Structure 1
Amino acid sequence: MPPRVVSLVPSLTEAIALSVPGALVGATDWCSHPADLDVTRVGGTKNPKPEQILALAPDLVIANEEENREPDLAALRAAGVEVLVTEVRDVPQAFRELARVLTACGAGTRPRWLDEAEKTWSELRPPDRRTTAVVPIWRRPWMVLGRDTFAGDVLSRLGVDHAYANHPERYPRVPLDELRATAPDVVVLPDEPYAFTAEDGPEAFPGLPCALVSGRHLTWYGPSLAEAPGALGEALRAALR
């Protein structure tokens, strides 16, 4: 029998559900994949409900140092629950952490999708010409990708250099006028955490190409990693035509 697992990380929820059927007993309200996931919902990533998690009597809670708050995790540990906290800042680290999580959740063998995803990224050859970008992740206030982020590494491996990669902060707030003044080749607008759409986002960058991309492909580390290079590359090429 696999351990009873509660996942507080949407991308890891998908990975566990596909790789260790029956292990998950709880997940956050934001855990949208797989679409037919049928487990108890325990609140959001930033505001999980400890009493609901404890009621599920989990053997293990899966968390992430960026997505989840330390006080919430400390409360679970104080109640006697084991908490595994992942840290993912680049693509190779994502594969290492995925393997660690799945092993902890009772996977007897390494899943095929993980091998296929890792092979896809190891064989990736970025275009000869590199592209500059601004990558907002929020508006009101405007926030963008800064240094040392998984999404930034994903884009870099696709030949995209984002303007704030060397900023002291990981997700700096930057005035819109300053973002426009960088004059990037493209503005990359993911649909999460802020849900940028064709009607909400591109109008702020008149005259600049905008690539609307799936946040799941840009920021999730799980089964979506296998298709992420193709999906993101297609969206970028369409914006730059």
Structure 2
Amino acid sequence: MRVVSLVPSLTEAIAATAPGLLAGATAWCTHPADLDVERIGGTKNPDVARIVSLAPDLVVANEEENRAADLDALRGAGVSVLVTEVRTVDQAFRELDRMLTVGCGLARPDWLDRAQAAWASQSPDSAVPAVVPIWRRPWMVLGRDTFAGDVLARLGVHNVYAEHPERYPKIPLPELVTSGAELVVLPDEPYAFSASDGPEAFPGLPSALLSGRHLTWYGPSLIEAPDVLRRQLRTA
């Protein structure tokens, strides 16, 4: 079977399970580091003609990360497309199982069981109110119904914008600072927040710099994500 992945998380999941299946992946698919497949553009601008030329049996995608127009173009060219929807940790496990076992025809991998076990014991006693910027200029934050928001909730972090009508609202910085948050969570993707770029905008508010891959990717990184993120949150 030949599979093209349009999502870094799904690329890593397939590579960890049956790397020989991957015929192509995006330029943003950085894990595993030694992945040697045809690169077919980005998640938002894949080269549809190049994908079709690879003659894949299946293209795997995500309803949030990939554009419907590109997926429709692939289907129009006769390519089978499996689209995942991942907005909670539990949904990630279900969708990964569906992609690997139904879509790719593989046995359920041991790493997926280990990842599910790692998250089964996450039940915080309390929650710290926080804002979670994902971009600046303009400032954007996690809103409702996001995978990263569910990850943080399971680790004892309450997103103060979790009930916002939008999933990734633009919020002026003065409003963020006065939102009632007791913590600012700054992941290093999609915007590369760092110790010198981000915390200075929230004077007097503790900042936690998190691994974006462990916060937003759903794949083998889920195994170590609880320990990695808890350790990073404790440094705030």
TM range (shorter): over 0.9
State the partner residue of 1:136: 133
State the partner residue of 1:106: 105
2:220 to 216, 219, 223: 223
State the partner residue of 2:232: 235
CA shift for structure 1 position 6: 0.3
Q: Structure 1 CA distance, aligned partners of 2:116 and 2:187?
A: 23
Q: Structure 2 CA distance, aligned partners of 1:21 and 1:145?
A: 33
CA shift for structure 1 position 105: 1.6
Q: Structure 2 CA distance, aligned partners of 1:157 and 1:199?
A: 28
CA shift for structure 1 position 21: 2.2
Identity over aligned pairs, percent: 71
Structure 1: gaps of 5 or more residues: none
- Summarize deviations over 1:20-58 as a string: whole Å, max 9, x none: 120001000000000000000000000111011111111
Query: Is the 8 Å Cα contact of residues 142 and 176 (structure 1) preserved in structure 2?
Result: yes
CA shift for structure 1 position 171: 0.3
State the partner residue of 1:78: 76
Aligned residue-pair number: 235
CA shift for structure 1 position 10: 0.3
3-state SS of 1:96 partner: helix
Query: Is the 8 Å Cα contact of residues 20 and 105 (structure 1) preserved in structure 2?
Result: no
Structure 2: gaps of 5 or more residues: none
Moved over 2 A (4+): none
State the partner residue of 1:14: 12
2:172 to 166, 175, 183: 175
Q: Structure 2 CA distance, aligned partners of 1:131 and 1:45?
A: 33
Letter paired with 1:79 = A
TM value normalised by structure 2 = 0.98
3-state SS of 2:15 partner: helix
Letter paired with 1:24 = L
Q: Structure 1 CA distance, aligned partners of 2:230 and 2:105?
A: 34
Q: Structure 2 CA distance, aligned partners of 1:48 and 1:130?
A: 39
CA shift for structure 1 position 120: 1.0
State the partner residue of 1:24: 22
Q: Structure 1 CA distance, aligned partners of 2:194 and 2:47?
A: 31
State the partner residue of 1:35: 33
Query: Are positions 1:184 and 2:181 aligned together?
Result: yes
Indicate the RMSD between aligned Cα atoms, in angstroms. Answer: 0.8
CA shift for structure 1 position 106: 2.9
Q: Structure 2 CA distance, aligned partners of 1:87 and 1:125?
A: 24
1:63 to 47, 54, 61: 61
1:200 to 182, 197, 202: 197
1:53 to 45, 51, 54: 51
CA shift for structure 1 position 125: 3.0
State the partner residue of 1:151: 148
- Structural mapping, 1:83-102, within 5 Å: 83-102=81-100
